[in-house]
Amino acid sequence: MFKNKTPEIYAHVSVLNSGNYVLPDYILNKNSDDVFLFHKNCPHRMYPLHEPGEIVQEIHCKFHNFNWDKFGKPLDNNKKLICGKAEVGNSNLIIRNFIEPDHKWIIDLSKENNLTYSHAFFGESTGSWLWLMDAEADLLHLWKNGIHPFLSQQIELKDIKLYQEDGWICQEHPHGWWVYVFPYVFIEYGYPGKLAINRVFPKQANLEFGFTWMTQFYYDYTKCDVNDRMIFETLEQVFCEDVQTVEKQRGSYYPLMESDSIYESHCVHFGKWFRQNVDKK
């Protein structure tokens, strides 16, 4: 769908403290200071090696009993697992095709040195992932008594500060911020010590309708208690409310060209990025 390689943010590097981390598209491996991408499906006959959200040591294919050590070295076969490389940014996020800006959201994350991976949520939808990501850029839909009853009680629109640069937006509120890195990644940070990374996966690269998602949660347990975490995880409920909303929208996505409302300005910014980067062939 897009002309160029799209920016990716895979996880927070702390998830690799205990082993290799399984994503829907790759297995992440940290070897010294490098992060490698391993095939998620066995290169032999494309059987899934492990389930997303798992942390694994040695890698095993149940189909034909092939095995690799934790660094991806074949133990009883000749199939190569390494298929790419990522880097760890100043934010301690594992990234590829993304140049981190000199901005507050990167600085905030760079100071979080005690995060621990907690768990992940997964979901699936038949709706348009483009409409969904447009909704993530949209603040106007946070009006009271709208589609986010709980969130609209927590956040006042007037208290949100808006920032944007090429390929991303940041919406800062009194309790933290949301960042959307175009086109697939939504990040939420809660003061203090709470981080969520949501990635959307289109069912097919060139199709708008049908997608899955994965939301990873990280905490600094010395800074936040169980009540803080329970409130923070209403993020997943809010995201599902957005999913339910876009499933009711009819027609293919079209970018917003202009708006008189500041609360839709990030939709216009996303629409501009979309028009510049979409492959119209």
pLDDT (tens digit per residue) in 15-72: 999 999 999 999 999 998 899 999 999 999 999 999 999 999 999 999 999 999 999 9
Which H or E element spans position 39?
Answer: strand 34-39
Please report which helix (H) or strand (E) contains residue 93, including its range. Answer: strand 93-96
pLDDT of residue 280: 72
**Whether residue 63 sits in one domain with residue 190:** no
239 pLDDT above the threshold of 70: yes
Answer yes or no: do 169 and 33 share one domain.
no
The pLDDT tens digits for 115-136 are 999 999 999 999 999 999 999 9
- Which of 26, 57, 88 is where one domain is finished? 88
- Same-domain pairing of 134 and 242: yes
Higher pLDDT, 146 or 240: 240
Contact 246, 127 (CB under 8 A): yes
Report if residue 36 sits inside a domain: yes
By CB atoms closer than 10 A (0-12, 13-18, 19+), residue 232 is buried
Contact 58, 15 (CB under 8 A): no
> Where residue 184 sits, what CATH number does that domain have?
3.90.380.10
Domain boundary among 61, 88, 115: 88
Residues 114 and 77 in one domain: no
Q: What confidence category does residue 3 fall into, taking pLDDT thresholds of 50, 70 and 90?
A: confident
Output the domain CATH number for residue 38. 2.102.10.10
> Which residues form the domain of 24?
8-88
Mean pLDDT of 231-242: 92
1, part of any domain: no
Is a pLDDT exceeding 80 seen at residue 91?
A: yes
Average pLDDT, the chain: 94
Say which residue, 160 or 146, is predicted with more confidence.
Answer: 160
Overall number of domains in the chain: 2
Confidence of residue 147 (pLDDT cuts 50, 70, 90): confident
Residue 281 has a pLDDT of 63
Measured distance CA(102)–CA(210) in Å, rounded? 34
Is there a domain that residue 64 lies in? yes
Q: How far apart are CA 117 and CA 260, in angstroms?
A: 41
Q: Is there a single domain that holds both residue 84 and residue 56?
A: yes
Rounded CA separation 56/11 (Å): 15
Residues 177, 60 within the same domain:
no
Q: Which residue has the tokens 């594992």?
A: 94
Same structural domain, 116 and 62 = no
Domain match, 25 and 133 both? no
Sign of the Cα pseudo-torsion (100, 101, 102, 105, in order):
negative
Residue 24's pLDDT is 97
pLDDT of residue 33: 85
